[in-house]
A = this chain, B = another copy of it.
């Protein structure tokens, strides 16, 4: 215990948030590494290469059958979710909007490059020439991979430095690619919208890191850990773009044709249902029945998370509504009861409540997926439909749906293990006293990392002249 304590003391020395050397160094070195690795490994695939015209003729295809036209609109929607959705969702704090949207931007831009490599090695490696061949589906998957890390960012929002976030992202992407390979390829679980692979993993990864970085004196930053009126409106931009484009998220990499179509419908319905139960619970547990913006901003999205795994299955429209119904309730109750409990007793400080928005709904999504898969029958799906939907081909041709259900459950366990284990490991690294994170009384504050324009001039209305302006500093 002596060693652990001295390590802790080492970490708690007076904080120095100057990242003038570390941040530029990490950005330049890592970006240079990306260029070299891309030079060695990454090429266009047959649909984005100039040889497409020959490929197309050989396979008797029309230009419109290029995968680009199947997936690009969904890709752009996902892209908006990653940068505007996640970025603005986190602007709710009164004085951390620059960090929310700016660091989200930074780590997503790095993460997608590293994800193209990591996922490429596992999924898109052309063994004839050792190159990763990329097309629009790889871009979507890279954005997905990044989403896992942005979820984790939500747990530590306002308490870490940008360098720590880049480290969190580097390891997060790496872990993601490995767990994804195990779950989707080895276990052959299906996870269209990533309830397990993205949300469960990302959620527990972030919570474990937050647990490792527990700050007993965080109440010293209490004055800043709340919203102002307009920061809540900004956050609603994030909420709505996530909510609206979630059908694209869950359908982006599903099967051409009915697969994408059905995944979009299921997600659309689940999300609609979630809004009503979120409002109900939020109003029910507040004095005078007033709604809490935190719930509206976050819990309304839980249905999209929970329907992720089963989105492509024949979940049925009413099934989607049921999933959304439950998740709205559970997620809002989580914000009311579980988040304070976790902070007080489990020492997990979860700034954005990702446990309620991603981790729990992700687990529910995994379970729903397992049950729906196990219950799938040829009479509902049709023989060919069943084979297509679950990819019962090649070595998996003989798998039964009940066995598939078990494998789905196994996939969920892998996601949780990678999240918790990886988070503890990375949290340990992030405790090193070299990363420039803020002191306990200076969290949730843009000031340490951003040039701040915070002076407003206020003067009494009766005085029309500019001369008598009183200058105030104002937190807005």
Contact = CB atoms under 8 A, between A and B. Distances in A.
A84 B241 contact: yes
Contacts of A455: 461
Interface residues of A, number: 154
A316 B24 contact: no
Nearest to A462: B471
Contacts of A21: 289
Given A84-B240, A135-B265, A113 B272 contact: yes
A437 interface: no
B19 A68 contact: no
Nearest to A461: B471
A86 B462 CA distance: 37
A292 B25 CA distance: 17
A282 to B, nearest CB: 9
Contacts of A32: 325
A262 interface: yes
Given A44-B314, A162-B291, 10 more contacts: A20-B288, A38-B269, A43-B316, A54-B385, A64-B70, A101-B236, A135-B265, A227-B453, A229-B454, A237-B237
A50 B233 CA distance: 41
A101 B233 CA distance: 8
Interface centre among A36, A62, A236, A314 (most CB of B within 10 A): A236
Contact of A24 (B73, B264, B284, B453): B284
Interface string A61-83: 01111111110111011011001
A1 interface: no
A238 to B, nearest CB: 11
Contact of A39 (B47, B279, B318, B473): B318
Number of copies: 3
B449 A460 contact: no
Interface stretch (A183-191, A195-203, A252-260, A365-373): A252-260
Contact of A136 (B227, B264, B271): B264
A244 interface: yes
Interface in A14-59: 17-21, 23-25, 27-28, 30-32, 34-36, 38-39, 42-44, 47-54, 56
Given A109-B272, A321-B113, A458-B473, A48 B228 contact: no
Given A56-B257, A233-B101, A288-B18, A226 B453 contact: yes
A375 interface: no
Contacts of A76: 73, 77, 244-245, 247-248
A87 B240 contact: yes
16 contacts: A27-B283, A28-B276, A34-B273, A35-B318, A43-B316, A49-B262, A54-B385, A68-B260, A72-B260, A84-B241, A106-B276, A109-B300, A110-B276, A233-B234, A290-B450, A455-B461
Which of A30, A48, A286, A325 has the most B CB atoms < 10 Å from its CB?
A48
Given A50-B389, A265-B135, A35 B79 contact: no
Given A113-B272, A275-B106, A472 B458 contact: yes
Contacts of A23: 279-280, 283, 289
A452 interface: yes
Contacts of A44: 258, 262, 265, 314, 316-317
A451 B84 contact: no
Contacts of A102: 236, 291, 293, 296
B451 A293 contact: yes
A6 interface: no
B79 A290 contact: no
Contacts of A237: 84, 88, 237
